[in-house]
Chains A and B, each alone.
Chain A
Amino acid sequence: MSVLSRVMTWARVKSPWIIHFNTGACNACDIEIVAALTPRFDLERFGILLKGTPRHADVMVCSGSVSRQIEDRLRRIYEQMPEPKFVVAVGACACSGGVFQGCYNVRSGIDKVIPVSAYVPGCPPRPEAIIDGVVKLLGTLQAPPKPPIRTVGIAPQP
């Protein structure tokens, strides 16, 4: 690894900017993503910042079973992101379609449309699980490429 690429990886890992895109989710995953960014969980301590446009983002956080209407937009927004780009699928629907699997209007999973780097299961996943997924993704940026990460869902408190 050259010095320049080492510096670039360091910068990327210290401050990844994310874009959140709802691809037909029920809002549950979306509010948990926002909850992860707010004071109790505070994702910003990892340098993660929520941006409004895909052109500024390194990581796209997707939630929801991709509906047919949104499929083209998802592809278009993914193409607008600069390289290198990563996608985190949050929630059972984004991973595999979840309860909506088999519905006539859903594609059952982000990875049917665009490549996914990390999967966070759960309906919805707790904010801790989302943070775990994002941090694990950042860990892989420093290491040589490996198969996609699957985080283990954190059990709810008794």
Chain B
Amino acid sequence: MANVTIPVGPQHPALKEPECFKVTLDGEKIVGVEIRLGYNHRGIEKACEERTIVQSQYILERVCGICSHSHSTCFLMAVEEAGKIEVPRRALWIRTLIGELERIHSHLLWLGVAGHELGFDTLLMYTWRDRELVMDLLALISGNRVNYNMNVLGGARRDITDAHRAEIRKALPVFRERTAYYARVAQEESTLIARLSGVGRLTKEEAIFYNANGPTARGSGVDRDTRRDDPYLAFPELEFEVVLDDHSDVYGRTLVRIGELMQTYDLIEQIIDGLPEGPIGPARAIRRVAAGEAVSRYEAPRGEDIHYVCTNGTDKVERVKVRAPTLGNLPAVVRMLEGGFLADVPIVVAAIDPCFSCTDRGIRVARSQGQDVWDADALRAYAIEFYRKRGLDLTRVKAPGR
């Protein structure tokens, strides 16, 4: 029988965001996947060049509504490094606290969405009910449920009061109890284990080769976590262990996320116990930033977020480049889907916790001597040559549409 191509997306009940996966099938088996990105491209990087740094922070916070604090913190860390701006210690700890609260909300959200993709809607309703607790905490601290706006250039916008700390302390046992319940469900519920095991396989070698990051890589046993490898904010002073799992499939990724939730509760306890005293930001708002350039890395809930910032001494940035975690995980998704079944597409795609609004914000046009527009073949040849010089053979990676 001839192969059939089925488009999954841009509007599809399994995808909450517009993205197109063209799946080529031989019967029920997937033989090829082509990803088409860009439905959510809004031109954020260009917009940042036209706005001041203070305004850019707001627009970068809206790269993604789920990891909004990650993007704005990552951007400001780069700007502060480029402009050599000193950030008070207390502000760093407050940023870390919000980042970890965000991780709770993102992982609980993921657990619910994963349940939904499996037809296990009870899990969706349970986790989203518990997630409202952390949304309440975030609303209490920052005044908004989703886009918190807790950062300013060189500090934090709002302080953490004793009342906030008491509320967080009160919520932590509830979170621990509920997460322990989900951990038990994941370890004992035989339907769930049978549905998730062996689906979307990605071996350790493949995870490294395809440059997977975040829980996707850790679910395949790759020991990689920016919070430990390149500590930022308050992480040099905090103690935690990287959660790893060697199931190398969707089940492993689920266990990693549940383990990280438990880890996050311990981190939050450490942060609210050890929150240093002092100012939370500069006395006067900083507008101009000295010229320089910097790259910053941040372990967002979905993986490693990378921002490159070039400042030019004015109140605007020369260039911002964002590498969102989902973009790094997409080549691995193609690998995971190949050889699997059509019915597994939603859960395998959901298992990387995709965030296409993060992924789609920028397209770079490569320019070189005399040749303004490169076609796909030329770009591919250039990329293969580029990485071959650095000792990585990428000829095995299939180009899309070929």
Contacts and interface: CB of A to CB of B under 8 A. Distances in A.
Interface stretch (B39-47, B215-223, B229-237): B39-47
Interface in B125-150: 125, 128-129, 131-132, 135, 139-140, 143-147
Instruction: Identify the interface centre among B16, B18, B47, B109: most chain A CB within 10 Å of its CB.
Output: B18
B13 A53 contact: yes
Interface stretch (A9-17, A33-41, A134-142): A33-41
Contacts of A25: 40, 65, 357
Sort chain A's interface into a size bin.
Answer: 35 or more
B66 interface: yes
Interface stretch (B55-63, B280-288, B303-311): B55-63
Interface residues of B, number: 42
A28 B102 CA distance: 13
A96 interface: no
B42 A106 contact: yes
Contacts, number: 123
B101 interface: no
Given A26-B62, A73-B11, A32 B146 contact: yes
Given A69-B39, A103-B47, A30 B144 contact: no
B70 interface: no
Given A27-B65, A29-B65, A99-B58, A34 B128 contact: yes
B40 A67 contact: yes
A28 B207 CA distance: 29
A69 B37 CA distance: 10
Contact of A67 (B39, B64, B140): B39
A24 B128 contact: no
A151 interface: no
A21 B9 CA distance: 11
A56 B40 CA distance: 25
Contacts of B10: 70, 73
B355 interface: yes
B51 to A, nearest CB: 9
Nearest to A105: B43
B128 A70 contact: no
Instruction: Identify the interface centre among B17, B131, B145: most chain A CB within 10 Å of its CB.
Output: B145
B202 to A, nearest CB: 24
Nearest to A91: B65
A23 B41 CA distance: 10
B11 A21 contact: yes
Contacts of B140: 157
Given A67-B39, A69-B38, A27 B143 contact: no
Interface in A82-133: 98-100, 102-106, 123-124, 126
A54 B13 CA distance: 10
Contact of B41 (A31, A39, A67): A67
Contacts of B59: 99-100
A77 B146 contact: no
Instruction: Identify the interface centre among B44, B62, B64, B132: most chain A CB within 10 Å of its CB.
Output: B62
8 contacts: A22-B18, A28-B65, A38-B124, A38-B125, A69-B39, A70-B18, A103-B47, A124-B65
Interface of B: 10-13, 16-18, 38-44, 46-47, 58-59, 62-66, 68, 109, 112, 124-125, 128-129, 131-132, 135, 139-140, 143-147, 355, 357
